[in-house]
């Protein structure tokens, strides 16, 4: 389990500039508050083996703030998301074998839509939320990561090596923001 304070201790990975990540409170809950102004794309990354045979279910809470500008989020020019959570099957020596699933909160792509990442074919995108948040704002998600890697990459994997959050605005240049709550791994229900 990773609390918001734990997530802030993860390593920074910057693609372009730096998204601001800090601890904040919203609607009575502590969260990682991510703010992207201008043209940055950086995330917070946890590197460590996670056994998907024991705990294949990923559960997390998140809340979109400002959504990115109007652009096709499935294109290179629109590949910005207020909130995204990466899960990576990383191969440090055989880099071409690395695969990732990106769970994203989109501005307009319908929930349930999936597509290859426009920059990296080894990453697959899945819209798990779409549009502005409702009045409550917080959403709890649950995904069977092992099944998603089978579905989107044709791989039956036993573990993943990295988890990351990212709020980015480098392609549209628009401001975005989000809140990330606790992330935890759970066993599959029988």
- The pLDDT, as a whole number, for residue 190 is 53
Segment 15-41 mean pLDDT: 90
Indicate the helix (H) or strand (E) that contains 56: none
pTM > 0.95: yes or no: no
List the one residue out of 153, 162, 154 whose CA is nearest residue 124.
Answer: 153
- pLDDT tens column, 168-187: 988 888 889 999 999 999 99
Please report, for residues 45, 122, 150, 161, 183, the alpha-carbon distance to residue 157 in angstroms, rounded to integers and kept in the order given.
20, 15, 8, 11, 20
- The pLDDT, as a whole number, for residue 85 is 97
150-185 burial code (b ≥16 CB/10 A, e <16): eebbeeebeebbbbbbbbbbbbbebbbbbbbbbbeb
Other C-beta atoms lying within 10 Å of the C-beta of residue 50: 18
pLDDT of residue 93 exceeding 60:
no
Domains and CATH numbers, the chain: 4-186 (2.60.120)
Alpha helices (H) in the chain, listed in sequence order: 4-8, 145-153
């Amino acid at each position: 389990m990773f609390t918001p304070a734990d997530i802030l201790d993860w390593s920074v990975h910057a693609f372009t500039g730096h998204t601001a990540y800090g601890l904040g409170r919203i609607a009575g809950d502590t969260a990682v508050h991510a703010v992207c102004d201008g043209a940055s794309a950086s995330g917070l990354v946890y590197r460590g083996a996670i056994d998907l045979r024991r705990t294949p279910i990923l559960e997390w809470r998140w809340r979109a703030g400002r959504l990115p500008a109007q652009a096709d989020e499935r294109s290179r020019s629109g590949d910005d998301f207020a909130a995204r959570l990466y899960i990576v099957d990383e191969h440090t020596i055989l880099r071409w074998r690395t695969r990732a699933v990106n769970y994203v909160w989109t501005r307009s792509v319908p929930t349930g839509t999936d597509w290859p990442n426009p920059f990296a074919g080894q990453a697959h995108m899945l819209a798990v939320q779409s549009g502005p948040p409702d009045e409550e704002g917080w959403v709890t998600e649950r995904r069977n990561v092992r099944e998603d890697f089978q579905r989107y990459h044709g791989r039956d994997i036993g573990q993943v090596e990295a988890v990351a959050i990212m709020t980015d605005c480098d392609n549209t240049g628009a401001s975005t923001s989000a809140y990330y709550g606790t992330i935890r791994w759970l066993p599959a229900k029988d």
